[in-house]
Amino acid sequence: VEKLTDLGGGVYQWEMEKVGTAQVNIQTIYASKYVSKYESAKGQGTVKWTPVKGIGNALVGGNWKIVDNKKSTNVTLAIQGEIEVPLPGLMKMVVAPVVEGEFEKLVEKYIDNLIKRFGGEA
């Protein structure tokens, strides 16, 4: 994350670091609204965020599901994302798999960092 901005009302704008080379790169910018303003839904063990249309070049939503297993905690992460790459059709066919791969690497890095910070296994 390069920059995180609180837009109010439980909505946050995420500006990710640019990926690619100096000549060819992409920066993902999106906003998501969090249920219960970043708090878990009481009694459900979930944190959910939904995409906010009209901000940035992506729509990203998802949720955390947290289960207390008494001796450990099970956390499940689900993310759905859609990014708009402003390129001609033919070039999109070539670039889309690269962008998708970079997004998956960022999610994996995010999970790895959480495991390093809190311990556990994936």
Any idea which of 3-7, 21-25, 81-85 has the lowest mean pLDDT? 21-25
Residues 45-53 have a mean pLDDT of 86
On whether the pTM is more than 0.85, the answer is no
**Which residues sit opposite 31 in a β-bridge?**
13
Residues 36-59 have a mean pLDDT of 74
Going by C-alpha positions, the residue among 78, 74, 64, 75 that lies closest to residue 107 is 78
Kindly list the domain boundaries of the chain, sorted by start residue. 3-87
Which CATH architecture best describes the domain 3-87? 2-Layer Sandwich (3.30)
Task: Report the pLDDT value the prediction gives residue 3, as an integer from 0 to 100.
Answer: 92
Model confidence at 110, in pLDDT bands (50, 70, 90)?
A: confident
Asked if residue 36 has pLDDT above 50, the reply is: no
